[in-house]
Amino acid sequence: MADLALNSNALSGFAGTLRGLMGDFSQPIFFEQVCTDLLNDDLDVLASTDKTCGDRLSNYLNTLASLSDSAAAAAEKLDQQLAREASQHHGRVRAQ
């Protein structure tokens, strides 16, 4: 039988990494406007589309980070509960 393991520290670290990515993605990208008006218009449209996609990606990453935090907390709680139960039954054989 395989051991059940869930590393709450890894989940918390993953959530922190996601939040770091969100911080990186939130930095604006600037470009010099030394182009033609047509190219500047195209860059404005691209920037608008990029913002929409970025907002959606940010929401996704934020939700994933929150779920990772919740899973880490649940894993830690379960680990503590199992440790308590194991210490209560240590040395005893349960009747079936």
Assess if residue 65 is contained within a domain. Answer: yes
Assess if residue 39 is contained within a domain. Answer: no
In tens digits, the chain (96 residues) has pLDDT values of 445 567 888 888 888 888 888 877 766 666 565 667 777 777 777 777 777 777 788 888 889 999 999 999 998 898 888 888 888 766 555 555
The total number of structural domains in the chain stands at 1
What residue numbers bound the domain in which 59 lies? 50-76
Instruction: Please report the sign of the dihedral spanned by the C-alpha atoms of residue 91, residue 93, residue 94, residue 95.
Output: negative
Assess if residue 72 is contained within a domain. Answer: yes
Assess if residue 58 is contained within a domain. Answer: yes
Please count the other Cβ atoms lying within 10 Å of the Cβ belonging to residue 84.
10
Residues, the chain: 96
Quick: pLDDT tens for 50-68.
777 777 888 888 899 999 9
